[in-house]
Structure 1
Amino acid sequence: MYSPKAYLKNYFFLFFFSSLFIIFSNLIIDPQGIFRIVEIDNINFQKPLMDKSGLRKFKSIEIEEGDYDTIILGTSRVANGLDPSSVQSSKKVYNAGLNGSNMYEIGRIFQFSHQVQPLKSVIIGLDFVSFSGQPRVRGDFSSSLFANKSKYEIYFKNVFSGQQLISSWKTFQFNHKGNKVNAVYTPEGFRTTKSVAPFNKKKFTQKLRYNFIRYQRVDYQQSQLKAFEDIVSHCLENNIKLYLFISPIHIQNLEAMRIAGQFPMFERWKKDLVNVIEKAHNNLGLSNQVDLWDFTGYNSITTEDIPNVDQKYHLKGYIDSDHYRPEVGNLIIELVVNRNRQKKANIPQDFGVIINQNNIHQHLKKIRSDQQRYHQNYPQVIDDIEEVLRKDEKSHSYLVPSIKLASL
């Protein structure tokens, strides 16, 4: 029988070496790219869990440790579409776009970034869905530097966490099997995708159903608009150059929005954005003019045809109907930031309009007119979209009434 002294001794050694194992594993495997002590092929080089459980911590540390005077803010659309290397700047540009972020989160990231190092320029890609719901944070935001956590607190929790040990084990298994993540982040926060599966009619149907349900649930909130207003005012007050644009979603999304009954709210949102900017200009002067570009609508980029199921080619401008490719992102940067439409012959003349109080009503009217014209010229495309969103007779899952839906 063990004596109490021997038992305590064995317990101590077990606890000590178990703790060492946890610390060593979490430090070396580093599933969320926080410590970056070493990167080894087939051990920890690939980070399959970072997108889901560590991106906000990772990017907050990157921003604090980096030397940036320009930051890109927005959802996964800018994270996938805007390459910081395409922005003309005296210093480095960092892409702080985050999957599923809302304006409240974006405002918090802006505040943190400007505290770390005074910013000269801010680029924001605006999305209607990011103005939905009450102010909230997602994923690991609450445990990141964005939420005023200290770096040492983050390190401590990630070193001694049992949950982190599970993530380390999953990351090791993924690497040991020789698997490769399809998307990696550059040192400037840009999400690069190695290969993109063809976006054919089958994926089109899946994405359309998803977007339709998402638009049905949009709950546009003035509190989210207030977060946007605070960014605009702060930039004007502190002479920070602000570049704003509304992301060029594929017309599949516009049609899903129309059928979901949210198109009028989408138009109101654009009017509200214009009003916020106009109010800030009136209150603070025009020394730092802020333009708002709108890339939505029925233009040369957003109306790209969806390939049939048996066709294997990729969309030229989109990864899918939500995310535009860097090639489109480069056009946005040339127009919004570099102001080079005349120098770039490959930029369609109908892609991108600066909207303000003088033209917003006419602009919205034109989009409505373009929508009707598109419906008339491509009735089969609209029929296909509406057919997907009718009642599924096999599963009896209700989406929209199985009757012809009005265009507007």
Structure 2
Amino acid sequence: MGGGMAADAALRGIRELDPVGTVGMVSAEPHPPYNRPPLSKGLWKGQSVDEIWRHADDLAAEVHLGHRIVALDLERSQATDEQGQVYGFEKILLATGSTPRRFPFGGTDILYYRTYDDYRHLRALAQRAESFAVIGGGFIGSEMAAALALANKHVTLIFPEGGIGGRLFPADLARFLVDFYREKGVEVRPGEEVVGLERQGQDLNLRLQSGQTLTVHGVVAGIGVSPSVELAQQAGLRVEGGIVVNELGQTDAPNVYAAGDVARFYNPALQAWMRVEHEDHANTHGLAVGRNMAGAHEPYHHLPFFYSDLFELGYEAVGILDSRLETVSDWTDPFREGVVYYLEEGRVRGVLLWNTWGKVDAARALIAEPGPFRPQDLKGRLG
């Protein structure tokens, strides 16, 4: 179930061990599986749309697009879609992903950016509109503000935190990004919230908590996502902030697996339960769980990384990035190149590699070390 990156990777994992078994993919998306990161990165920098497709049709699977599973009967080993079509299974993977959080206002005038169709819609709108508001200063919001600015649009970036990436980055780095985005022509409004939206013809009037009104022609929101666990809950599976799985990707029903955004798994290096919403995890977890569905019995102990591009700045990150943790910054060039370590009780819990490349595996190894580490122990460790 699902047609995203994790589902496609799982299909590839199954085919690595079982090239002839019957496999079906049921996806609510109207499009076959594609890579999501280019939607907010490469496609705005000249990458061809032809490059995003993952070619699941090469894997000898029955692919049912535009069908949403609405009921899961584990006793009968059947899944039913919204049109009443029934699918039988011996094993089933829930790769249902996540759903954007939404405001209680604005309706379809707010684009909750996530899918290829969202990209097409925004590209078309950007052909005829000049001013945009981007709500949210996190992962998607910061990328989309940069993408629209690179398309020579007037962009206002609005978020409640004190700086861009304020929940991830140390306060001084988040404040630097505010000034950096302003230098790029983005109007940045930290510490501000949107409380309403009204349309007047082609104008969208955003009401702000400060009492001001901002008029734009397009609104994009990236205010977080929630795992799509409804079917798992309906089926009585264990759900705790995601569908809980063991190291093989199995739920508490042994013939039901989960992978990708929706899965909550235990990571030995962090000694913590996690749910990860990024590309590396979708690909590696999907592949591992697919292989396990085909009989591999290979524990998933991978610590995923994620990355982003913010104009000419970029980063890779591993582990837990939480600005509430103790942070140690080791800059080669302040806010332009360096490493930020996230510590909790003397252990490194996360590493931010800021314009620092080729160090992901070393960061994983550092996180796996028990410590304890003092700030001075980390200076020059990965830089």
Q: TM-score, normalised by structure 1?
A: 0.25
The structure whose residues are more often strand, as a share, is 2
**Greater helix percent: which structure?**
1
Which of 1 and 2 has greater Rg? 1
